[in-house]
A and B are shown apart, each in its own frame.
Chain A
Amino acid sequence: MTTSGLSLDQAPPFHTVALLLAGAPIFGVILSLTGLWANDELLLLHHPKTLAFTHLLALGVLMFAMSGAMMQMMPVLSGAKFPAPWRTSPLITLLLAAGTLLLAFGLATSNQSFLTLALPVVGGGVALFTFLGHIAMRRATSPMPTTRVMHLALANLVVGLCFGLYLLASHAQGEITAHHYNIVTLHALWMLFGWAIMLLMGVAWQVVPMFWVTTSYPKRCFFITPTVFMAALVMVSIATLFDLPLLKQASIILLALAGIGFASVTLRRILTRKRPIIDTTLSFWYLGLVSLIASMILLIVSIFVEGEMTLWLAGILAGYGALAGIVAGMLYKIIPFLVWFHLSSQGHSDLPTMRDFAPEERSRLHFWLHGAALLMLLLAQMVPLLLYPAFMAMGIGWAIQVLILGKALIYYRKKSREAPFLRESFIA
């Protein structure tokens, strides 16, 4: 008898994960409002408001969703339990939320006091999460490719965080050194490839075959892609710090090709799946993977063309089109499933279906708004007037998700009080 597989007996209490997951779309709304406020200043790659917008996306939307997903998946897949999640998760949520807001406001207004305050708060939140994640992985009873790559992504997050804290300290003290933009490049590359795309890859290995009944990923992917990412990140760091432009360009091309490789293999699995049904989550994945490929191509092009526009477009495609989109899509699967499953485990049999928790027609509207916002953002470099409707569409989309998922969470809270006989006995 085989005993390997998912074990929800190992899952953390629902509210600890829900706190982090629900934070992502809320920050999506804040992100959109910031976009409306900053408007055409966001068209400049290094404008303070662009930095604020980028960090609201990376720390607010992505970090919240990714940390919540890791806290849920690592114990379930590998027995890698986070220590005392009922205490540590609210603390991480608080530090990340406060730190992200302080950082974004400090960056947008170039306010050194806010930046100085943000430094320990956001640094503490991310450091605490990575430290606890590392402890969890040390406890893993059955490590597997997804959780191994999550562990690697956590290590890369620490590297990216160190570069980020250096930059933040520079901004806070008003001392921008000659190396500043080199460190910015390394911070961006380690966070994008080492943390976010690496984690996305690990999640995809697990959820794509599970949710859409595709063939499994070839086993060589579990070794080759992370190795290429790591080798290229080390090479680009050496090249940047020792001023070796050719090696730097080659490393960035290698990173982009690895990104294209991952996205292509995933697209191939989805396109050849057995059941040709398309749900909202899958639509987000389609658009996200195509955006990722386009972003990687533009990243390569940006090496050979003058100006910042190509890199700006690559950033929008990777950050918003791919990462934020896939996060939004996955939330429509994860939260309704966890609500349904935790209530079932409490003994409730009169539950709505998962689809009732996230009605397809409403979540589909979010997807179309997301797609429209992405398209208008890409065109905004030529037609800046499109920025306003783009951020409106983005904000309404995230607000729809807040309402849908908020309703599911309220239902959970209400219903879970009706079953004291089994409450939390199964999951906690």
Chain B
Amino acid sequence: MPDSFVVLDVRELPAPEPLQKALLTLQELPETTGLLLIHRKLPQPLIELVTKQGYATEVEEPEEGLYHIRIWRVSP
């Protein structure tokens, strides 16, 4: 897992903007930096998509209706 994460809060965005913004941000990140996505729902499609594209994910639910999803690259 990388040391640093860029934070992206998409709680106020309507679907599918969180998915689009997350993918766009991941494309622009250096390989050593991860993405911390803050979301009101569990973005299962995003998780499936990035997993297929060589990223690892870790999900936390600190409270009901709040998700922290860490995404980072594990393979080129």
Of A5-13, A126-134, A189-197, A304-312, the segment with at least 4 beta carbons within 8 Å of chain B is: A5-13
A210 to B60, CA, bound (A): 20
Binding site secondary structure of chain B: mixed
| C-alpha gap A4/B64 in the complex (Å) | 13
B16 within 8 A of A: yes
The answer to whether A213 and B45 have CB atoms under 8 Å apart is: no
Report how far A203 CA is from B27 CA in the complex, Å. 33
Contact, CB under 8 Å: B16 / A337: yes
Contact of B48 among A9, A213, A349, A353 (CB under 8 A): A9
Q: Which of B7-55 contact A (CB under 8 A)?
A: 12-16, 19-20, 23, 27, 40-45, 48-49, 52-53
- The 28 listed contacts between A and B (C-beta, < 8 Å) are A1-B59, A1-B61, A2-B42, A2-B61, A2-B67, A3-B42, A6-B44, A6-B45, A7-B45, A8-B48, A9-B48, A210-B14, A210-B15, A211-B14, A213-B40, A274-B12, A275-B12, A340-B20, A341-B16, A341-B45, A344-B23, A344-B49, A349-B23, A349-B27, A354-B16, A425-B52, A426-B48, A426-B49
Assembly CA distance A118 to B43 (angstroms): 44
What residues on A are CB-neighbors of B42 within 8 Å?
2-5
Starting from the known contacts A2-B59, A210-B41, 17 additional A-B residue pairs (CB-CB under 8 Å) come to: A3-B42, A3-B44, A4-B42, A4-B44, A5-B42, A8-B49, A210-B15, A211-B15, A212-B14, A213-B12, A213-B13, A274-B12, A340-B20, A341-B45, A344-B23, A345-B52, A426-B48
Interface magnitude class on chain A: 20 to 34
**Known contacts A5-B41, A211-B14, A275-B12; is-contact A345 B49 (Cβ 8 Å):** yes
B20 touches A353 (CB 8 A): yes
Q: Does A347 have its Cβ within 8 Å of any Cβ on chain B?
A: yes
Interface residue range, chain B: 20 to 34
**A-side interface residues toward B, CB under 8 Å?**
1-9, 210-213, 274-275, 337, 340-341, 344-345, 347, 349, 353-354, 422, 425-426
- A275 CA / B12 CA spacing, docked (Å): 8
Chain A interface mostly: loop
Knowing A210-B14, A211-B15, A213-B13, the reply to whether A7 touches B44 (Cβ < 8 A) is yes
Q: Point out the residues of chain B lying under 8 angstroms from A8, CB to CB.
A: 44-45, 48-49
B41: chain A residues within 8 A (beta carbon): 5, 210
Closest Cβ of chain A to B18, distance in Å, is 10
Query: Which residues of B does A touch, CB under 8 Å?
Result: 12-16, 19-20, 23, 27, 40-45, 48-49, 52-53, 58-61, 67
Nearest chain-B residue to A76 (Cβ)? B45
The smallest beta-carbon distance between B15 and chain A, in angstroms, is: 5
Partner of B20, one of A3, A7, A211, A354: A354
Complex interface: chain A residues within 8 A of B49 (CB): 8, 344-345, 426
Q: Collect the chain B residues with CB atoms within 8 Å of residue A345's CB.
A: 49, 52
Q: A275 to chain B: which residues have CB within 8 Å?
A: 12, 14
How far is A422 from B12 in the complex, measured between Cα atoms in Å? 32
